[in-house]
Structure 1
Amino acid sequence: MAEWIDISQPLNNQLAHWPGDQSFHYHTPLTKDMTGSVNIGRITTSTHVGTHVDAPFHFLENGKRILDLEIDRYIGPCTLIDLSAFDEINQRALESKNIDAAERLLIRTSLPNRPERFPKDVSPITPDGAAYMKSLGVQLVGVDTPSMDPITSKELAGHHALYQHDIYILENVMLDHVAEGDYELIALPLPLEEADGSLVRAVIKPIKGS
């Protein structure tokens, strides 16, 4: 029986974060010696560190929050492809994989999986790439980078194009150790009612015969 593969970035105090944003920090302010019974940990974090999803409110003032989103988008069959030979995730790059259809798409780029290092450059999703994903039936896309857009972008053309085509966003998945193919995906966000994003535990399992 195929086992689940963890494609999440480990959450620890060395995890890279967006410059100027809140880093992830875990500590244990209450120890078993102090309470007499249990250890109690505390987490301080941004909603956009590690493996996480974006809600439209992240880049739209009146966009949907995490708890407004369809939970079934984050569970189900997905196709993992390697586009590390391309500088952009555009229509030409996607066409190179000859995909007929895909509900969920995970994309490996040329960025090495190094959670402790924040990258200077990523391979962005272009508007024509987002439109082509829509033509394939894609409802969620996941990338192994912290953003769908260039790190310095303020326009966020990739985020907005994906939103216009009703494609959900999953970022910072770890794909270097996973082969191309078809998988089952689980990447559930926390039920954060007002949040613009959420950390997730993302796992995949090969689909039999793929």
Structure 2
Amino acid sequence: MPHLIDLSHPIVPDMPQWPGDGQPLEISRLSRHGPDSHMSSALRFGCHVGTHIDAPLHFLDGAPSVDTMPLERFCGPALVVRCPDGDKPGALGPELLDGHDLAGIDFVLFATGLARHWGTPRYYAGWSYLSPALARRLADAGLKGVGLDTPSLDPFGGQEAHDICAPAGLINIENLADLSGVPDRGWELMVFPLRLHGTEASPVRAVARLEAQP
């Protein structure tokens, strides 16, 4: 029987968000349980909240939005690349892919270990990101997407990796939760977005689907 592992952070009020993001996260109760009532809630948040994907439209004008991309683009075999000392801020180089066979792989995920700092000031204080050389190698590999357990493919204020990946049609998966519980390969990633009309990003429930419990 397939085994599912959640790779997404919970969406909660006052959760960490991108520095300077002006859209506060709100989860409000419109009604509560009572003799003649039921529970009903309302949500207000930006499209890049929590574990989310960026469609190519995020940095490429005229590119597909999340609602126009085929569902097949959001699932497929994944490879996890473990990054020694990856939770130290700095660029990740293309040598991390050396020795990894990308044949049959749709998603490459980089496990830096930063996810363990989720919810603390350390998380947004600095992170590992894709060097241009690594981004180019990924863009040329015919993948569906690339993901990290960090806030972004780029450092704060940068966009070079996004600019390289977007024309190749890659989706970016950011703020992944702890990847230590999944094998390096041999499983399927699912990151289906909300069907938000014309938007460049969406929160996702990132899930690893394994054929058997590890």
TM-score of the superposed pair, with normalisation by structure 2: 0.85
Q: C-alpha displacement at 1:207, in angstroms? A: 4.7
Residue equivalent to 2:95: 92
Matched AA of 1:27? S
Structure 1: gaps of 5 or more residues: none
What is the RMSD computed on CA atoms of the aligned residues? Answer: 2.3
CA displacement 1:1-47 (0-9 Å, x = unmatched): 341000000111131011222232212122233x9231110111111
- CA distance in 1 between partners of 2:16 and 2:67 (Å): 26
Q: CA deviation at 1:84?
A: 3.5
Name the counterpart of 2:30: 29
Q: Does 1:122 align with 2:116?
A: no
**SS of 2:169's equivalent?**
coil
Shift of the alpha carbon at 1:136? 3.5
Greater shift, 114-123 or 48-57, is seen at 114-123
Aligned residue number for residue 199 of structure 1? 203
Q: Output the CA distance in 1 between the equivalents of 2:209 and 2:25.
A: 28
Amino acid in structure 2 at the alignment position of 1:108: A
**How far apart are 1:181 and its partner, in Å?**
2.7
Query: How big is the shift at 1:176?
Result: 4.1
Assess if the C-alpha contact under 8 Å between 2:3 and 2:211 holds in 1.
Answer: no
Counterpart check, 1:150 vs 2:151: no
Q: Is the 8 A contact 1:81 1:181 kept in 2?
A: no
**2:101 counterpart letter in structure 1:** I
Contact 2:67 2:196 (C-alpha < 8 Å) held by counterparts? yes
1:163-174 matches, within 5 Å, as 163-174=166-177
Code of the residue aligned with 2:40 in structure 1: it is I
- Of 117-126 and 47-56, more deviation after overlay is shown by 117-126
Describe the superposition over 1:54-92 as per-residue Cα deviations: whole angstroms up to 9, x where unpaired. 122322343322112232121121111212445423312
> TM-score, with normalisation over the residues of structure 1?
0.87
* 1:86-142 deviation per Cα after TM superposition (whole angstroms, max 9, x unaligned): 5423312222x4324222111101424333234121211122212222444322111
Amino acid at match of 2:135: A
1:100–1:77 distance in 2 versus 1, CA, 3 Å? closer
> What stretches of structure 2 of length at least 5 have no aligned partner?
none
Distance change (3 Å), C-alpha of 1:133 and 1:25? same
- The answer as to whether partners of 1:53 and 1:198 remain within 8 angstroms in 2 is yes
Match of 1:104 among 107, 123, 127: 107
CA–CA distance in 2 between the matches of 1:77 and 1:163? Answer: 20
- The 1:84–1:68 alpha-carbon spacing in structure 2 relative to 1, beyond 3 Å, is farther
- Aligned sequence identity (%): 27
State the aligned residue count.
206
- Give, in whole Å, the separation in 1 of the partners of 2:51 and 2:114: 15
Distance 1:57 1:104 in 2: 19
Asked if the contact 2:148/2:174 (under 8 Å) is kept, the reply is yes
Compared CA separation, residues 90 and 68, structure 1 to 2 (3 A): farther
